Amino acid sequence: MKPLLLLVFILFFFTAKLYSQTKKEIYQFSQDIEHKIEKDTVKWKYQTGATAYSISGYYKKALETWDKNGARIPAITKEDSLYFKNFHPENAVDYIVSRSKTEKVIMINEAHNNARHRIFTTSILQGLYNNGFRFLGIEALNDSLINTRKFPVLESGFYTQEPQFGNLIDEAIKIGFTVFGYEDFSNSNITGKEREIKQAQNITKWIEKNPDGKFLIHCGYDHIIEGIPGIKSWEKAMAGRLTKFTGINPFTIDQIQYSERGNSKLNQPYIEMLNLNYPAILVDSNDKTFNGAIDNPKRIDCSIIHPITKYDNGRPDWMTLSGKRKIYNISNSKITEFPALVIAYRINEFEKDGIPADVIEILDNKNKGHLILNKGKYKIVIKNKDYKVTNEYTIKI
């Protein structure tokens, strides 16, 4: 995990800096992403490739490519299995929303190549807002105008270019959250330890300015660790440092460890053992939450166990947000050239470099594609293999 996180750190700043310098095609055909990976010679090419797949809406390809970084088939001991049986599952959304009534700071993480994690965070926004949460801190966001513009744009960040990340931010602002970034983008030479400190300090400033506020913090990977981080040079991760600066004990939620992999053999056994059709948090008879180990030195409060994805015409079932989002079938009569990229923008956002609400690749006229969208008005933009716009039209969902 240590070298992996180091590569993620390098990727975050390298790609953010690269995007700020050059304008490029963001949403790509899968074949073009594949060719770029094949030609790439850098050690972290599968990370960049997985992220490119994720940003362009290829969920399964993103997972499969990330697996090429190297991973072992996980196993659990008899002791771990017996410990696991002490817990019963509760619906993760319901549990977090209920828990939020008595929490001031909730932290939830994501893998940067996994759009499912952003959709889950989106699913808890309204419930948290109803319980007094008004601030959403996002690690990947670098946009001081976000709350006045009311929607993210391509230059708002790197990972935020992914449609489900854009939807997360859009939904939060519509609900009434104040959205802020807390990463220090000013220093590309910052060390890992300094980065954890700076993140915690920036969040602390927001808390001090809003002492009665309640905060949801969406971050990447191990920043939610309250105990001993895997990267020893950090000494403490962001969550642990925030407690030191503020005296607040955040409720920390991991989404990564028990999410499916591209290769099912690499899935954690607990996913299959639980075999649910909804994300779950495990709780024992003493209201203790399961965090993956009998004695977990990282001290994360709980882990979400995400079920295996089911697909409808190639689209993940969880994209509908339990039916809140609607399916829009794309008529092939709208497409003049194949393959085609079909991209849906909220109305008036395409012209302002907004983030798409959804994007899908359609390979040929036998391939029936559909977009998954919230209610509202959209501009549909269709591009050919040369990324030229071949059609535009508006729809209402």
Looking at CATH, the fold of the domain delimited by 325-397 is given as Immunoglobulin-like (2.60.40)
DSSP 188-250: TT--HHHHHHHHHHHHHHHHHHSTT--EEEEEEGGGG-SS--SSGGGSS-HHHHHHHHH----
**Tens of pLDDT, residues 238-279:** 999 999 999 999 999 999 999 999 999 999 999 999 999 999
Q: Considering only CA atoms, which of 293, 231, 299, 294 is closest in space to residue 268?
A: 293
Task: Give the span between the Cα atoms of 120 and 115, in whole angstroms.
Answer: 9
Question: Are 373 and 357 contacting, i.e. CB atoms less than 8 angstroms apart?
Answer: yes
| 383 has pLDDT over 60 | yes
Q: Considering only CA atoms, which of 281, 291, 283 is closest in space to residue 93?
A: 281
Strand partners, 280: 91, 305
Look at 34 and 293; give whichever has higher pLDDT: 34
Domain ranges within the chain, ordered by starting residue? 78-305, 325-397
Q: What is the mean pLDDT of the chain?
A: 93
Q: Considering only CA atoms, which of 371, 366, 279 is closest in space to residue 57?
A: 371
Q: What is the CATH number of domain 78-305?
A: 3.40.50.11550
**Tens of pLDDT, residues 139-157:** 999 999 999 999 999 999 9
Task: Give the span between the Cα atoms of 54 and 162, in whole angstroms.
Answer: 7
Look at 70 and 370; give whichever has higher pLDDT: 370
| 6 has pLDDT over 60 | no
| 103 has pLDDT over 70 | yes
Strand partners, 220: 110
Q: What is the mean pLDDT of residues 176-190?
A: 94
Question: Are 144 and 155 contacting, i.e. CB atoms less than 8 angstroms apart?
Answer: no
Question: Are 231 and 222 contacting, i.e. CB atoms less than 8 angstroms apart?
Answer: yes
Q: Considering only CA atoms, which of 128, 227, 231 is closest in space to residue 175?
A: 128
